[in-house]
Amino acid sequence: MAELRLPHRSPGARKAMDVFIRFFSVTSATIGIFFLCWILWVVLKRGHSVLSLSFFTSAPPSPGEGTGGIYYALVGTLKMTGLACLMGVPLGLLTGVHLAEFGRHSWFAAAVRFCVNLLMGIPSILVGLFAYTVIVLSVPKHYSGYAGAFALAIIMLPTVARTTEDMLLLVPDTLRESTLALGIPRWRMITGILFRAARKGLLTGVLLSISRVSGETAPLLFTALNNNYYPKNLGRPTANLTVTIYNYAMSPYENWQRVAWGASLVIMAFLLGITVLLRTLLRERSHR
Amino acid sequence: MNQTIESIPHTTVSETVIDDPILSAQDLCFWYGNSQALFENNLDIAPRKITAIIGPSGCGKSTHIRVYNRIFEQYRGQRASGRVLMDGLDLLAPDTDIITLRRRIGMIFQKPTPFPMSIFENVAYGVRLHFSFTKRELEQKVEESLRAAALWSEVKDLLHRPGTALSGGQQQRLCIARALAMSPEILLMDEPTSAIDPVATARIEELMLELKQRLTIVIVTHNMQQAARISDYTAFFYQGRIIEFGPTARLFTKPTHPQTEEYITGRFG
């Protein structure tokens, strides 16, 4: 009975606030999805008409005539991304191992973690300028695919390192203890047991970093530049998808613009594929 | 808290003498950072017997056996002082080869932790690192270890299935097989049955009685019936000190210290 004398607030205001907040959150979410769908729709509409097998296997068209394709740019992008993986993935993996396994409490690891976070936030155009300064302007003095791969590797590094650290920390310490208790040396524990226990997480980090660099244009603009020839080796300016899109979309030639839309669709489909793969990997993790 | 610790009678010399102990802890102290967890304890472990360590939560039971294989060194801020003698050598000496030490002193944990690989590989993984066996000998060693852990008949046709697919009790026996494959002289068991069901527990207790024919077991347990059932000697820990140590039958029937009696009769802990 005493409860009745308490100064209860009327539920009306609370309910109104609830409706208000819900309305705005739903509206914001809808606006976000709306623009995403719009982008997807435009790219699909403009890009799908050029898509065919020959689009992937043909040389770029001459300005103004012919359809052509993105073969050179596709090969260049794959080569540079592959080389960037070879540099960035082992380095990032080992950095993550240091952070999770050896440096949990050390000041050095804390400093490394801080730098890795910082590196993750650096605009990619700065990474491009950096690669331009230290590689393109040095000995051979020209743009090259190597410089492009170098810039992409720097962008991949922090993503791989942080994911590796997070995923290794998810492995319970009991597994570490029972491995060490068998007289297994620490490095064997890391490479043989922990990597295996966290393999899906580690793969997630690598895929995430690939998806991060697959749309990068700015760092390649200063390094790999672009090329109209087949990228036989990466010592020369190298054709790649994103700079091709940039150049062709800005060009006055209608057939180039079409190639740009097609290439955009290819990158978008690739990213979608990686995202689906990541989701499957992570879902399997949580079901285990 | 500190006052109660000071008021506890300190038993530095145990009344029970073990002849020719396989392990002998002397003046063993342990710290987690600045907080001391073990206070100048002395404990001798009899060879080919089961020694149980009992006591309330937080009394230092696990801490004590984690010193034997120096697994605590994995963590920053944990340190031990004193000596633990095995074959006349101090295990805590800096020049002790920790890999060999851990091969000779195996450890089983509360939670079964199969490696993320096949049942066969779970056992073979450590063996390959310590011994250079031929493929044939390795297979024999794996079979022998699984038999010794009373798991062979259940898994002999599933050797290539993942170790994680086994039941909890089977996983724990897999961990025991894995440890036995190292041919250890001592097996440390840190509450090995507290995470598994009673039937699986009974199997593991049976197994321990078989194993003590050829190796020494030190088991930490919360379960006093378990200590009474399987152990030959029992040490009662309380607040970081060994209050009483003696043959299990004597300690459970005629405890000499009031704390021991209170604990085993269930008045605290």
ipTM: 0.89
Chain B residues inside the 8 Å CB shell of A175:
113, 115
Q: What is the pLDDT of residue B159?
A: 96
Q: What type of residue sits at position B25?
A: A
For residue B107, give the nearest of A105, A181, A188 by CB distance.
A181
**Tokens encoding A228:** 């109209």
For residue B116, give the nearest of A174, A188, A196 by CB distance.
A196
Q: What is the pLDDT of residue B3?
A: 41
Least confident of B5-14, B45-54, B63-72, B111-120: B5-14
Q: A210 with A156: CB under 8 angstroms?
A: yes
| Segment B239-259 mean pLDDT | 93
User: Could you tell me the pLDDT band of residue B5, with boundaries at 50, 70 and 90?
Assistant: very low
B112: closest CA of chain A, how far (Å):
9
Q: B22 with B45: CB under 8 angstroms?
A: yes
B143-154 pLDDT tens trace: 999 999 999 999
pLDDT of A267 strictly over 90 = yes
What residue spans of chain A are helical by DSSP H? 11-47, 53-57, 71-97, 107-121, 124-131, 145-170, 173-180, 186-188, 195-197, 199-214, 218-221, 241-250, 254-287
CA of B68: which chain A residue's CA is closest?
Answer: A181
CA of B113: which chain A residue's CA is closest?
Answer: A175
Q: What is the pLDDT of residue B7?
A: 46
Q: What type of residue sits at position A90?
A: P
Place of tokens 């898994």: B155
Q: B153 with A217: CB under 8 angstroms?
A: no
DSSP-derived letter for residue A145 is H
CA of A106: which chain B residue's CA is closest?
Answer: B76
b/e map A41-58, b = 16+ CB within 10 Å? eebeebbeebbeeebeeb
Chain B positions touching chain A (beta carbons under 8 Å) = 69, 71, 74, 76, 98-103, 106-107, 109-111, 113, 115-117, 125-126, 129-130, 175, 178-179, 182
B72: closest CA of chain A, how far (Å):
9
CA–CA separation, B165 and B32 (whole Å): 36
- DSSP states of B119-186 as a string? HHHHHHHHHHHH----HHHHHHHHHHHHHHTT-HHHHTT-TTSBGGGS-HHHHHHHHHHHHHTT--SE
Q: Which of A182, A194, A202 to mutate to test the interface with B (most CBs of B within 10 A)?
A: A182
Q: What is the pLDDT of residue A11?
A: 84
CA of B184: which chain A residue's CA is closest?
Answer: A182
Chain B residues inside the 8 Å CB shell of A104:
76
Q: Which of B110, B115, B178 to mutate to test the interface with A (most CBs of A within 10 A)?
A: B115
Instruction: Please write down the long-range contacts of B262-266, taking CB distance under 8 Å and 24 or more positions apart.
Output: B263/B54, B263/B55, B263/B56, B263/B236, B263/B238, B264/B54, B264/B224, B264/B236
**Tokens encoding B119:** 């049942």
CA–CA separation, A201 and A122 (whole Å): 24
Q: What is the pLDDT of residue B195?
A: 87
DSSP-derived letter for residue B39 is E
A101-126 pLDDT tens trace: 998 888 999 999 999 999 999 999 99
Q: What is the mean pLDDT of chain B?
A: 91
Q: Which of A102, A167, A178, A203 to mutate to test the interface with B (most CBs of B within 10 A)?
A: A178
Q: Is A185 on the interface with B (CB under 8 A)?
A: yes
3-state DSSP assignment of residue B85: strand
3-state DSSP assignment of residue B259: helix
User: Could you tell me the pLDDT band of residue B12, with boundaries at 50, 70 and 90?
Assistant: very low
Q: What is the pLDDT of residue A287?
A: 46
| Segment B212-224 mean pLDDT | 95
Please report, rounded to a whole number, the percentage of residues in chain B having pLDDT higher than 70. 94
Chain A residues inside the 8 Å CB shell of B113:
172, 174-175, 177-178
Domains of chain A: 74-255 (1.10.3720.10)
User: Could you tell me the pLDDT band of residue A2, with boundaries at 50, 70 and 90?
Assistant: low
pLDDT of A230 strictly over 60 = yes
Neighbours of A64 (CB within 10 A): 11
Q: What is the pLDDT of residue B15?
A: 67
Q: What is the pLDDT of residue B4?
A: 46
For residue B182, give the nearest of A176, A183, A197 by CB distance.
A183
CA of B127: which chain A residue's CA is closest?
Answer: A182
Q: B237 with B59: CB under 8 angstroms?
A: yes
Q: Is the pTM of this model over 0.90?
A: no
B91: closest CA of chain A, how far (Å):
14
Q: What is the pLDDT of residue A288?
A: 43
User: Could you tell me the pLDDT band of residue A3, with boundaries at 50, 70 and 90?
Assistant: low
Q: How far is CA A179 from the centre of its chain?
A: 34
Q: CA quadruple A51, A53, A56, A62: dihedral positive or negative?
A: negative
Least confident of A7-21, A245-259, B147-161: A7-21
For residue A180, give the nearest of B102, B116, B130 by CB distance.
B102
Chain B residues inside the 8 Å CB shell of A108:
none
Q: What is the pLDDT of residue A285?
A: 54
| Segment A87-100 mean pLDDT | 96
How many residues are there in chain A? 288
Q: Which of A203, A243, A223, A235 is closest to A74 using CA atoms?
A: A243
Q: Is A171 on the interface with B (CB under 8 A)?
A: no
Q: CA quadruple B34, B37, B39, B41: dihedral positive or negative?
A: negative
CA–CA separation, B181 and A38 (whole Å): 62
A63: closest CA of chain B, how far (Å):
56
Please report, rounded to a whole number, the percentage of residues in chain B having pLDDT higher than 90. 88
DSSP-derived letter for residue B47 is T
Q: What is the mean pLDDT of chain A?
A: 91
Q: Is A176 on the interface with B (CB under 8 A)?
A: yes
Q: A52 with A265: CB under 8 angstroms?
A: no
Q: Are strands B89-90 and B78-86 parallel, antiparallel or unpaired?
A: antiparallel
A135-176 pLDDT tens trace: 999 877 889 999 999 999 999 999 999 999 999 999 999 999
